[in-house]
Amino acid sequence: MITNDIKYIGVNDHKIDLFEGQYVVPNGMAYNSYAVIDDKIAVMDTVDKNFTAEWLVNLEKALAGRKPDYLIVQHMEPDHSANIDKFLSVYPEAKVVSSAKAFAMMENFFGKDYADRRIVVKEGDSLNLGKHVLNFVGAPMVHWPEVIVTYDSTDKVLFSADGFGKFGALDVEEDWACEARRYYVGIVGKYGQQVQNLLKKAAGLDIEIICPLHGPVLKENLGYYIDLYKTWSSYGVESEGIMIAYTSVYGHTKEAVELLAEKLKEKGCPKVVVNDLARCDMAEAVEDAFRYGKIVLATTTYNADIFPFMREFIQHLTERNFRNRTVALIENGSWAPLAAKVMKGMLEECKDLTFTKTTVHIKSAVNDDNIAEIEALSEELCRDYIAQSNETANKQDLAALFNIGCGLYVVTSRDGAKDNGAIINSVKQVTNTPNRIAVTINKNNYSHDIIKKTGVMNINCLSTDAPFSVFEHFGFQSGRNVNKFAGVEPLRSDNGLIFLSKYINSFMSLKVEQYVDIDTHGMFICTLEESRVITDVETMTYTYYQNHVKPKPAAEGKKGFACKICGWIYEGDVLPDDIECPLCKHGAADFEPVE
């Protein structure tokens, strides 16, 4: 039982060996179906054709002698839709509710579109069952074009179709994230933007329970699952570390990979994952490529191309919109090496990839030159980890000052035992003998009060790979009300303050020497105590944020003014002079008319 009125009627499949004919599922699969029992009864989807009898028995028990009124079809893949026709024959008075595209697919699958028994729904439509109201939300290409999801506003339940699903039957205990990640990357991964669109719609709903079509019902800590989906769908980095994917014919490329892995660990890489593409589960390797922020591809030239398993692996990446990663290449070729050129060419269609300056070129066997190349590559890949470590960092790297500009920053501070971080945009070097930095912060910011009291801060220079979620997290909520670093294992500089582990190219630890009151803001004149350069990625400027990071406001059909910082829309003909954006707290100067 999910709630008093929502009952689980799905099945477990332990006979299946390959899901969708390609994904190994050692712990089987769950095909989920639900019944909402009210004045009228709605059944949410069916199950795979091999479990018709078991599902109908489960349904009959849930109905307790009653008859269903509706079958809601959210998704037409056969593992969920196979029993539509059987259900309608068993319950001839029931109607089927779905999207227009789904009914067209029913014609393809069953030779009929149930014109006399169908209810076509679209975004914004609802179905009243009595106490429960089912609200339909369009979710096209998550991951088929006909998909809808359903929100029960009474019990605050989201029936999420394939969203938030995972491999594995429900009677087996296993880690959710591992199999959910492999499921998402393999099946939904190409459609990140469509998932982002659905998450934005879901953000406006009060959700307490998520009921997917695969995997367990989610009732606790929903923020954890939603945050993972935000990361996956934005092609962000979930875990710090480096993934190495390789093929090796006679062991020489493998030798180079093993040496590189050893050096990466020595230089502080928190996690090194090595996949032999000829022997590992290809889906697991693809999952790792999307999980970590850096990837090394190592293979041989083979028939004037690359080894087949590497070619297959890269094709899996490109067809799933692989992006936002650092890529390093190791090639092996005895007489006409082409592997690095071919691999780089295959990845040209991927967006926002950064290739390392160092490429390792092996000619048959690893030699002293290759060992030097591997050393250089490990240094390049681990530069940020070296800089993040208090033991190995260059803490007086004045090149960090070059990253100050008309940029966007996260200022971190600490109020007793509570850490805080906030987005600011006014940082300026004012002298260089000694190095003095001026930081201006709005007096309404919690950070202003903390820094005025403690006299210390860290300035994190955001880089152009920072996603919008960073600005949401540090800019659209106050540290007075939330702990912005809850659940985070922090990195700290010598002054005891946090510095960010990603999405920055440098940070500086500052000590306040003078405070200047400038009406709405306070200016802190500071000396530089520590400065580290983390990466070479360019600083996030305000212009770059506006053009490439901030989402376009959802202004369709709306008239008013949009916040240029976060996209929130004030609907009205005249913008109040004292307007304050409820999300990012910016005033009238940062609003523009909706066009």
CA 430 to chain centre: 38
Q: Using pLDDT thresholds of 50, 70 and 90, give the confidence band for residue 556.
A: low
Q: What is the predicted pLDDT for the residue at 568?
A: 80
Residue 554 has pLDDT above 70, yes or no: no
pLDDT recorded at residue 553 = 65
C-beta neighbour count of 30 within 10 angstroms: 25
In this prediction, residue 436 carries a pLDDT of 95
**Mean confidence (pLDDT) of the chain:** 94
- What pairs with residue 295 in β-bridges? 243, 327
Q: Encode pLDDT of 432-479 as tens digits.
A: 888 999 999 999 899 999 999 999 999 999 999 999 999 989 998 899
- Cα separation, 183 vs 247, in Å, equals 24
- 205 vs 216: CA distance, rounded Å: 21
pLDDT of residue 301: 94
Q: Three-state DSSP class for 101?
A: helix
Amino acid in the structure at residue 291: R
* Interval 215-229: pLDDT, tens: 999 999 999 999 999
Inter-residue contact 462 to 540 (CB < 8 Å): yes
Please give the helix or strand (H or E) that residue 415 lies within, else none.
Answer: strand 409-415
359-406 pLDDT, tens digit each: 999 999 999 999 999 999 999 999 999 999 999 999 999 888 878 777
Cα–Cα distance between 381 and 369 in angstroms, integer? 18
Rounded CA-CA distance 548/467 in Å is 9
Which residue type does 37 have?
A: I
CA distance 462 to 457: 15
pLDDT digits (tens, 9 = 90+) for 42-96: 999 999 999 999 999 999 999 999 999 999 999 999 999 999 999 999 999 999 9
Q: At what angle do helices 282-291 and 308-318 cross, to 10 degrees?
A: 50
Does the CA dihedral 247-253-257-258 come out positive or negative? Answer: positive
Peptide bond into 434 cis (omega under 30): yes
Query: Taking 90 as the threshold, does the pLDDT of residue 514 lie above it?
Result: yes
Handedness of CA 372, 373, 374, 376 (dihedral sign): positive
What's the token pair of residue 390?
């208090």
Helix (H, G, I), strand (E, B) or coil at 172: coil
Closest to 127 (Cα-Cα) out of 74, 171, 49, 62: 74
**Residues 409, 414: Cα–Cα separation, whole Å:** 17
C-alpha Rg value of the chain to the nearest Å: 27
Q: Which residues contact 241 (CB under 8 A, 6 or more apart)?
A: 269, 270, 271, 272, 273, 292, 293, 294
Structure tokens that stand for 136 in this block: 């339909």
> In degrees to the nearest 10, what's the CA dihedral of 212, 554, 321, 283?
-10
Q: Output the pLDDT for position 105.
A: 96
Give the span between the Cα atoms of 116 and 125, in whole angstroms.
Answer: 20
* Alpha carbon distance 34, 70 (integer Å): 12
Q: Are 446 and 411 in contact (CB under 8 A)?
A: no
3-state secondary structure 260-312: HHHHHHHCCCCCEEEEECCCCCHHHHHHHHHHEEEEEEEEEEECCEECHHHHH
572-583 confidence digits (pLDDT tens)? 888 898 888 877
| CA 474, 235, 188, 102 torsion-angle sign | positive
Element (H, E) at 474: helix 468-475
Residue 160, token pair as written in the block:
């999420």
Cα gap 259→262, rounded to integer Å: 5
Cβ proximity of 297 and 342 under 8 Å: no
**pLDDT at 162 exceeding the cut of 60:** yes
- For the stretch 320-341, pLDDT in tens is 999 999 999 999 998 889 999 9
Give pLDDT, residue 581: 83
* Alpha carbon distance, N-terminus to C-terminus of the chain: 49
Q: How far apart are the C-alpha atoms of 183 and 287, rounded to whole Å?
A: 9
Residues 6+ apart with CB under 8 A from 583: 476, 563, 566, 568
pLDDT, tens digit (0-9, with 9 covering 90-100), for 195-217? 999 999 998 899 999 999 999 99
Give the Å distances, CA to CA, from 7 to 71, 107, 519, 566. Answer: 14, 29, 59, 40
| Cα 483 from Cα 229, distance rounded (Å) | 21
CA dist., res. 251 & res. 336, Å (int): 19
Nearest to 241 by CA among 290, 189, 174, 312: 290
The confidence score (pLDDT) of residue 542 equals 82
Over residues 45-57, the pLDDT tens digits come to 999 999 999 999 9
Q: Is the pLDDT of residue 417 over 80?
A: yes
**Quick one: what percent of the chain has pLDDT higher than 70?**
99
Q: Measure CA 147 to chain center.
A: 21
CA dist., res. 48 & res. 61, Å (int): 19
Cis ω before 143 (30° cut-off from 0): yes
Cβ burial of 341 (10 Å; 0-12, 13-18, 19+) is middle
The answer to whether residue 484 scores a pLDDT higher than 90 is yes
